[in-house]
Chain A
């Protein structure tokens, strides 16, 4: 980009030496722009070209992972992605793109007040975008959908490890409310309680009963079934039915219904068998054996009560799946979403990097608002605008890929 001009005033010999001995002062460098635009814009466009590759890599990786997935990619509703929020955010970004263009136009026309106004509008719209994003993130976090363990509750496979994790989680809840009961009692007898203590105690008691019921009808019964039935397909059905109760995925609805319908007829035989097993134990059999036999009967009985058959109040959440145990009881049990971890990783990476770019844009807008936005600043506004349009551009591709595919 720099062109060497040998100074004509210098003697020929000296000028020749100038390039040999690297002496300063003999060569005059004259700036000749190679591109017909100002330096700031060149830099900004160079930066944007690296950004094109950066986001193309992220989006491309997502596409490749998404369509080359082993099995089923989570549907938007499986993971609390609500289409209309994405469409709204797209619209907000389009509006902000127009407002920054108008800010530039006003600045060029030296209408600094109007330019300032449009810049403010852009800033506010950007904040709205991030606000909506925050609400969306929160709906994922509150359902245990995180990109990483230990916060993530996602299990990719409905297998014995999932059932074991569920059992442990419910046992923890049992323990928690047993302890809470003990704390409320403070060594007193249950009958001595009154007022607030009484209510708190009853509530803890109710929770304890609920979670004991869930434990028996859910993981305990399922483990019983798995250990007794060697049919792999049926074992898988049983675990998927259990997972469906915790966090219902629409795609499993029919499979679970037909499995549960099929098992109803077997309860009477199972119970009789379990009772015979208990009676068959010797008088002096180990207490653990007796307890295990009793647990088996309890699990079969719990499976037939409301705690298992009840489906919450059956309402479907707006744009999401039906109500499962996690929503109904306000707890965080492990959930089963095939490929859910891969989904969470890609979703949070893509939207996170995009949100980071939005944040940088907002900082730039805030700084611009402190300036006089007249014709002298038009170049600066144009550069910030270019960056902002690029952020909009990325979202234009993210919206259908993440919300509608």
Chain B
């Protein structure tokens, strides 16, 4: 990718501020994105057969998604070539977004930790003690059929 451009702040004109990026860069990024999408698909569908653990496939797919997001933001949205104002807008919002998710964890993500037996009786699952074994069995059987 092209080196970040030292920006001249005296050019407030919207479209002339970054150096000319050749179309070939966008086309190259497009192919990388398509390839990464295929990689996600393969990991998601065949990851378990390839001997990866479920958690590892999740991590790999999220990693691929972040890479794709990075490419789109940097290249297609031109943020790579923008002046430092880009940090002002993106960093605080991203932090707030992340904190927002973390704030949900104690009450929502960990809600099961404090379930009473009565609450479990009304949960959508059939038998909490069996959930893990059933889930593992279903995962392996559902992937046998592909």
Contacts and interface: CB of A to CB of B under 8 A. Distances in A.
A binds B: yes
A95 B30 contact: yes
A72 B135 contact: yes
A38 B13 contact: yes
Interface in B27-43: 27, 29-30, 33-34, 37-38, 40-41, 43
Interface string A24-47: 000000000101111011000110
Contact of A36 (B85, B126, B141): B85
A367 to B, nearest CB: 19
B108 interface: yes
B44 A405 contact: yes
Interface in A261-300: none
A359 B95 CA distance: 28
Interface residues of B, number: 75
B62 A251 contact: no
A351 interface: no
A396 B32 CA distance: 13
Nearest to B126: A236
B56 interface: no
Given A68-B109, A83-B44, A254 B85 contact: no
Interface in A320-357: 338-340, 342
A150 B142 CA distance: 30
Contacts of B50: none
Interface in B61-91: 61-62, 64-65, 68-69, 72-73, 76-78, 82-83, 85, 89-90
A95 to B, nearest CB: 7
Residue of B76, B78, B141, B142 most packed against chain A (CB within 10 A): B76
Contacts of A157: 122, 124, 126
A403 interface: yes
Contacts of B37: 87, 90-91, 94, 399
A57 B77 contact: no
Contact of B100 (A45, A56, A102): A56
Interface in A92-139: 94-95, 97-98, 101-102, 104-105, 108
Contacts of A50: 93
Contacts of A68: 108-112
Contacts of B38: 87
Contacts of B9: 36
A80 to B, nearest CB: 14
Contacts of B142: 75, 77, 250-251
Given A56-B97, A396-B68, A404-B44, A108 B15 contact: yes
Nearest to A107: B15
B52 interface: no
> Among the interface residues B23, B34, B41, B131, which one has the most CB atoms of the partner chain A within 10 A?
B41
Given A403-B44, A404-B44, A70 B120 contact: yes
B111 A397 contact: no
A338 B126 contact: yes
Given A68-B110, A156-B124, A38 B93 contact: no
B31 to A, nearest CB: 10
Interface in A57-79: 57, 60-61, 63-65, 67-68, 70-72, 75, 77
B12 A36 contact: yes
Nearest to A94: B33
A83 B138 contact: no
A401 to B, nearest CB: 8
A354 B105 CA distance: 24
A69 B26 CA distance: 40
Interface stretch (A170-178, A180-188, A378-386): A378-386
Given A95-B30, A98-B26, A71 B61 contact: no
B14 interface: yes
Nearest to A65: B108
26 contacts: A35-B85, A36-B10, A37-B17, A37-B82, A41-B14, A46-B89, A53-B100, A56-B94, A57-B101, A60-B104, A61-B104, A61-B108, A64-B108, A64-B109, A65-B108, A67-B109, A70-B115, A70-B125, A71-B124, A71-B131, A90-B37, A98-B26, A98-B27, A378-B15, A382-B14, A404-B43
Closest 9 CB pairs of A and B: A71-B125, A404-B44, A56-B97, A251-B138, A60-B101, A68-B109, A156-B124, A379-B14, A70-B123
Interface of A: 33, 35-38, 40-41, 45-46, 48-50, 52-53, 56-57, 60-61, 63-65, 67-68, 70-72, 75, 77, 83-84, 87, 90-91, 94-95, 97-98, 101-102, 104-105, 108, 156-158, 236, 240, 250-251, 253-254, 316, 338-340, 342, 375, 378-379, 382, 385-386, 389-390, 392-393, 396-397, 399-400, 403-405
